[in-house]
Amino acid sequence: MKPKNKTIGYLIPVFALCVFMLVIYGAYVPHKPAEIQRVVCIKFKPGTTPEAIDKHLRDFASMKNAVDDVVAYSAGHVQKSGANENQFDVIHYLTFRTKEGALQYASNADHKAFVQANEGKWANVLEMNSNIEK
């Protein structure tokens, strides 16, 4: 029985070292940087309730899981200041790893369903893609 216990005694530290090395490798391997950012600005029609706007924000945020290339998503209400006070109500920021990912998002079935369900509440929409310069 001693040779079996000796083998297990050697394997446990080797296994722990392998796990540690994998964790370190995962933490320091550079990942592919993001290339494209999409900005979506939306102005709601007069009379749209704050609850409907909040639901819109939640529903839009849930779409980020529909495309694998979405690196980051954030959104918020436009802060009113000066001459462009009534131009848009909310802004969505999506960051993609590749240009293909941004195109895939635009043609995604979940995105199209969201647009169909909500476009009746929108007075104006502005969508732009931009390169991320480093």
The CB density around residue 43, as the number of other CB atoms within 10 Å, is 17
Residues with Cβ within 8 Å of 118's Cβ and at least 6 positions away in sequence, in order, are 56, 59
Model pLDDT, residue 31:
67
Pair 130, 36: CB distance under 8 Å: yes
Model pLDDT, residue 17:
87
Model pLDDT, residue 29:
60
Model pLDDT, residue 1:
47
Q: What is the pTM of this model?
A: 0.72
| Local confidence pLDDT in tens for the 134 residues of the chain | 456 677 778 888 888 888 888 887 776 666 667 889 999 999 999 998 999 999 999 988 888 877 777 888 999 988 877 765 678 899 999 998 888 888 888 888 888 888 999 999 999 999 999 988 87
